[in-house]
Structure 1
Amino acid sequence: MIRFAPATPADDAELRALLRAHSMASWVTMAVEREPSFFGGMNRFGCDLAVIARDGDRAVGMFVRSEHPVHLNGHPVQTGYLGALRIDAGYRRRVRALRDGYAAAFAAGEQGSSGFCYTCIASENRPARRLLEGNLKGLPRYVEVGEVIALAMPRVRGKVLGHWHPMRPDEDAAVCALHNAAAASRQFSPVLNPMTLVATGADFFVCRDALGKPAACMALWNQNDYKQVVARSYRQPLAALRPLYNAVAAARRQVTLPRPGQAVDQTYLAFLAADAKHAPMLTELVADALAMCRTAVLTMGVSTHDPGLQEIIARFCPSHYRMTVYTVAYGDPPGLDGRPVLPEIAVL
């Protein structure tokens, strides 16, 4: 019988092993790892609970339920995000095990949280999507609500423009208000407050208007010390052609592909927002952020409905990674009013 229990530091090595062993399939198979400590990256935005599944003494699965504040239909709500879902291959068709696991995930929700969760799955991971969309008896219902594209942009495409300045301590409330006013137009976009802002550990910057007030904000968030995205393998023919691809990409100032087993040297461009006057400057603001980045790659999430998406792609020639966003609920799914879906990928 499989047992589910909250993970403790004593489970750290097994949790990290599960993350290393189970990758996300796409054109590049990637593993999201947490080295050297699984718990080193916990509670950076909201409250995280890791649960480990054991068959006897053997660890056979895990998940993390994160409770954090997001916007839903323009209003702040506290809801759960299901992440780091890893299941040994031999247990993925055991409906009882899946049923018990999801029951544990929903039971872990905090009082006052919404009755549903949301999650993201690599759009090209067809086996996982078929399984979870299958509406198996006793499992929560997965409803697709949109798609997010992670854009990995090369630092060499940056341009120093002088728009961004470090946020002053007395600007935190203004930055949160600015961010939330813009984020309310997106589903599952984060709700910032001064406490969550500090807890991230990210470096926040502002672009000030003529009166010296924040008119745009963003964070450069390097998580490499506690969370890594590791390339495990590539599909053919890319696997064989990777050295040639990298030579051409370097010459064209594009992102090169890490060798199998190597982590992406990246920083997240997170919590990007601007007022109405500065919103048309988005591409310039991204170019300036790229110039400030200290890693080879700057990664940001955009909605497939973002009107500036094509301009960003044309200017920065990023690599793309598509993720499908789902709501997960036992009852009726939440009613969404048609706003584009854009969770902050840096907190997932």
Structure 2
Amino acid sequence: MSCYTFSLAHAKDDAQLRERMASDWIEGATAISLRREPSYFSASRLQGDKVQVIIGRDTVTGRVVATAARSITTVVLNGSPQRAALLSDIRVDRAHRGRGLAMQLLRALRTLDSTDPLPTHALVYDDNEVALRSLTAKRAGMPQWKQFGGLTVLALRLGKRRPELELDGVELRRAHANELPAVVHFLNAHRKGNWAPLLDVADFEPGGRCDTLQARDFFVAVKGGNPCAVIAAWDQSSLRQAHVERYSRPLAWMRPAYNAYAWVRGRARLPAHGQALPYLYLAFIAVEHHDTSICAALLRYTHNRLAEGPWLYALAALNNDDPLLPVFSAYPAAHSAVRLYEVDFETRADTTDAPSPDSRSCVEFALT
């Protein structure tokens, strides 16, 4: 019978961590795997400035069979900058499930939190019944998972342009290189909800967590010489990818015909089994006064430029109560629901810095 040891991962474990990511499929009508190639740790900088990865190793085979990551960065909580943690990549090899490994990972995370207590949050897909059952159930000695909201994740289908939407006095365009500081300032000023990342221009410089996002990847609406709306189109495929492992039977049947049509029209094609799905994120969405008309015009402008690119989908995630959500929902898209949790390890002596449950959240999905 297997026994397990738990420790913090190091660079030498990178290959096994990547193998673990590739092996754990997200099941559904279409099965996908979320991968981090060519380097697990390099991709992890997206999630935080400091990343601690716990690995559970089978002592018989020496293989990594369980993982959990704790990423630390600065976010906004109750209107002020604060260090906080994100829990992610909690995975257990299918062959080793039902042996209490998830609980042991949570105990190890609790130990990390006890040495550096921080407000902690996590995201769980609504249809991930295994994770919801094993992580959020109330058990003695385990952290409390308190849901504080939810996201609607839309995979907007690209490829077909729509008529542009023009507004008097509003210019729609890509940001210029010298405008990055102004864009960062605008985002920090208009994304003040709990868990919003606090951005700095240095984040976009080589080695920064957003260094794969360039100024020209930001689409901006400009009014009176100043930005009034921002949407970033962020292709993270050089760091992490989603691979199609199995199509649903209807989609597998129609894939050859669709790809022939896409080839004729010069559009992105559905990948073969095991290949990467061409997609990007619509990230850092901010609109002054939540103006839906400006948002609609900028989204249309962004969509039409991306339709000319190599992507099948643009992934956008908004709070369920976001007034801008109907603007994005007007596009053909696949929908997913994500639950947002605060994870309380009960190790903070002072809880005055805990996020207010009444405050609106602003989790950036592209950084999770």
Alignment of 1:174-189 (within 5 A): 174-184=182-192, 186-189=193-196
Q: Given the superposition, is the C-alpha separation of residues 18 and 304 from structure 1 closer, same or farther in structure 2, using an over 3 Å criterion?
A: same
Q: Unaligned stretches of 5+ in structure 2?
A: none
Q: Please give the alpha-carbon distance, in whole angstroms, between the structure 1 residues aligned to 2:114 and 2:230.
A: 30
Matched residues, percent identical?
Answer: 23
Residues 157 and 287 in structure 1, CA contact (< 8 A), matched pair in contact too: no
1:135 corresponds to: 138
Match of residue 24, structure 2, among 17, 22, 25: 22
CA distance in structure 2 between the aligned counterparts of 1:149 and 1:89, rounded to whole angstroms: 28
1:50-70 deviations in whole A, cap 9, x for unaligned?
A: 232212122111122111222
Look up the equivalent residue of 2:356 and give its one-letter code.
Answer: L
Compared with structure 1, are the counterparts of its residues 27 and 147 closer, same or farther at alpha carbon in structure 2 (3 Å cutoff)?
Answer: farther
Whether the 8 Å contact between 2:281 and 2:315 is mirrored in structure 1 is yes
Indicate the RMSD between aligned Cα atoms, in angstroms.
Answer: 3.3
- C-alpha distance in 1 between matches for 2:253 and 2:83: 46
Report the CA distance between 1:43 and its aligned residue: 1.5
Aligned runs of 1:1-348 on 2, under 5 Å? 1-44=3-46, 45-56=48-59, 57-95=62-100, 97-108=101-112, 114=118, 116-158=119-161, 163-169=172-178, 171-184=179-192, 186-198=193-205, 199=208, 200-201=210-211, 202-204=213-215, 205=218, 207=220, 209-234=222-247, 238=250, 243=255, 258-276=271-289, 280-293=293-306, 294-296=309-311, 297-314=313-330, 316-331=331-346, 334-348=354-368
Is the CA contact (8 Å cut-off) linking 1:158 and 1:288 kept in structure 2? Answer: no
Instruction: Point out where structure 1 has 5 or more consecutive residues left out of the alignment.
Output: none
Residue type at the aligned position of 1:127: V
Instruction: Give deviations 1:195-232, integer Å, cap 9, x for gaps.
Output: 22432121232536344223323322211122011233
Choose 50-59 or 331-340, whichever is displaced more.
331-340
Asked if structure 2 preserves the Cα contact closer than 8 Å seen for 1:147 and 1:341, the reply is: no
**Superposition TM-score, scaled by structure 2 size:** 0.80
- Cα deviation, 1:101-128, whole Å, max 9, x if unaligned, reads 22332444597762x3211112111122
1:178 is matched by which residue type in structure 2?
F
3-state DSSP class of the match of 1:209? strand
- Conserved 8 A contact 1:305-1:340: no
Q: In structure 2, what is the Cα distance between the partners aligned to 1:272 and 1:134?
A: 33
Q: Distance in 2 between matches of 1:335 and 1:2?
A: 35
Q: Radius of gyration: which is bigger?
A: 2
Distance 1:338 1:245, change over 3 A: farther
Determine helix, strand or coil for the equivalent of 1:163.
Answer: strand
1:238: Cα distance to partner?
A: 4.8
Query: More deviation in 5-14 or 211-220?
Result: 211-220
Q: Aligned partners of 1:329 and 1:338: how far apart in 2? A: 17
Which secondary structure does the structure 2 equivalent of 1:276 belong to? helix
* Cα displacement (A) at 1:23: 2.0
The letter for the 2-side match of 1:343 is V
Of residues 32-41 and 335-344 in structure 1, the stretch that sits farther from structure 2 once superposed is 335-344
Deviation at 1:307, TM superposition (A): 2.2
Give the whole-Å Cα distance in 2 for the aligned partners of 1:281 and 1:155. 20
Give the secondary-structure state (helix, strand or coil) at the position aligned to 2:336: strand
The answer as to whether partners of 1:255 and 1:319 remain within 8 angstroms in 2 is no
Does the CA-based 8 Å contact 1:20-1:31 persist in structure 2?
A: yes
Q: Is this contact kept in 2: 1:301–1:342, CA < 8 A? A: no
Distance 1:256 1:153, change over 3 A: farther
Contact 1:154 1:255 in 2 (8 A): no
Q: What TM-score results when the alignment is normalised by the length of structure 1?
A: 0.84
Q: Secondary structure at the match of 1:149?
A: strand
Q: Shift in Å at residue 73 of structure 1?
A: 3.3
Following superposition, the deviation at residue 163 of structure 1 comes to 0.9
